[in-house]
Amino acid sequence: MAATLPQGEEKGRAVRAMFDAIAPRYDLVNRVMTFGLDLRWRRRTVRALDLAPGATVLDLACGTGDLCRDLAAAGYQPVGLDLSLGMLRNARTGAPLVQADAARLPLGDGAVEGAVSGFALRNFVALAPVFGELARVVQPGGRVALLEVAHPPGFYFNRIVPRIGGLLSDGAAYRYLPRSVAYLPPPRELEAVLASAGFGHVVRTTLSGGVAQLIAATRVVSTAAERARAHR
């Protein structure tokens, strides 16, 4: 990766190529570099949904399907979506999978009762369009739970993770990952963007001493824009 973080369409192309490259050993590197904590964090993410059994839940940027498997184990009906075809080809889940851009979801309005994502927010080209699409496809009263690294990253994430990634997978990709935290807005700004999209009751929880963060929210019954459209 170049010293300057890519932006816009260049970022989208770079992220897709990077995840295509690291897909075959992605799960192994995750387990090693988090000492297995990522499994606990993902289960916590699924619990934060608090939806009725059988609810359909979108796994946004599903990667190799870790959250899809956790969703199925919790009694939900997962649907996985990712921009990286390499990730989808290495997925280990029985859930339906589709390759698509998170900012242009191939789903109808109110198609799902919930949505999750795991360590994906900083890899989207822009958050507002993604959150807007989530608000469109998640039913009013539905829930989202978004797992991400915390900001700012510490010594381990900055120095040790790139070394592990270099030994087990693609060194350039895992040098990029700590730097990619710079894409994340501060917590209050992130919560504000989510609220502006149409989500309320936004709750941010730090995990494992601040290594990761979990943002959970409820799709409000109607946004101001939706109410305006209804009265036209």
Question: For the segment 74-86, what is each residue's pLDDT rounded down to a tens digit?
Answer: 999 999 999 999 9
Q: In the chain, what is the straight-line distance between the N-terminal and C-terminal CA atoms, in Å?
A: 49
Q: Which CATH number fits domain 8-230: 3.40.50.150, 3.40.309.10, 1.10.340.30, 3.40.50.360?
A: 3.40.50.150
Q: Which residue matches tokens 């290495």?
A: 90
Contacts of 44 by beta carbon, 8 Å cutoff, 6+ apart = 147, 207, 214
pLDDT band at 65 (very low <50, low <70, confident <90, very high): very high
Q: Half-sphere exposure (CA, 13 Å, Cβ side) for 79?
A: 18
Which segments of the chain does DSSP mark as H helices, in order? Answer: 8-22, 26-33, 37-49, 66-73, 85-89, 127-137, 155, 161-168, 171-179, 187-197, 224-230
10-34 pLDDT, tens digit per residue, is: 888 988 888 787 776 667 666 666 6
The reply to whether omega before 162 is within 30° of 0 (cis) is no
What is the rounded distance in angstroms from the CA atom of residue 138 to the CA atom of residue 145? 12
- Tell me what pLDDT residue 218 has: 98
* Averaged pLDDT, 181-189: 90
Domain ranges of the chain: 8-230
Mean pLDDT of the chain: 86
β-pairing, 212-219 vs 138-149, is: antiparallel
The reply to whether omega before 152 is within 30° of 0 (cis) is yes
* Averaged pLDDT, 45-74: 97
Q: Do 52 and 77 meet the contact criterion of CB atoms below 8 Å apart? A: no
β-pairing, 97-99 vs 199-207, is: unpaired
* Averaged pLDDT, 30-49: 83
What is the rounded distance in angstroms from the CA atom of residue 103 to the CA atom of residue 90? 23
Q: Which two tokens stand for residue 161?
A: 């993770």
What is the rounded distance in angstroms from the CA atom of residue 231 to the CA atom of residue 142? 24
Whole-model pTM: value is 0.84
